[in-house]
Amino acid sequence: MLADLIHHVRESLEKEQIRRTVEVYTKNLHDNFPGTSFQTMSAKLLLNLAEYIAKLPDKQEGSIHYLLTKSISADEM
């Protein structure tokens, strides 16, 4: 449910909220405990956020978010 809310308000999120959302859902993606449906939902949310980040008018800001996403993903592996 929270992922659906974040999806619908993603255009209103501030930089720090985007960073934290990416951080939390990346950790969820790598957590085996809740099951594959939980991981699938996390992956979908991260893809939706990546799409939004790619469309940011400030390309430098979008690049920073992208690099953050990659950094968090790499740290979790």
Q: Residue 35: left if φ>0, alpha if ψ -120 to 50, beta else—which one?
A: left
pTM above threshold 0.95:
no
pLDDT digits (tens, 9 = 90+) for 36-63: 888 888 888 888 888 888 787 777 666 7
pLDDT digits (tens, 9 = 90+) for 19-42: 888 888 888 887 877 778 888 888
Q: What would the two tokens of residue 61 be? A: 């800001």
How much is the pLDDT for 76?
52
8 Å CB contact between 20 and 67:
no
How much is the pLDDT for 65?
66
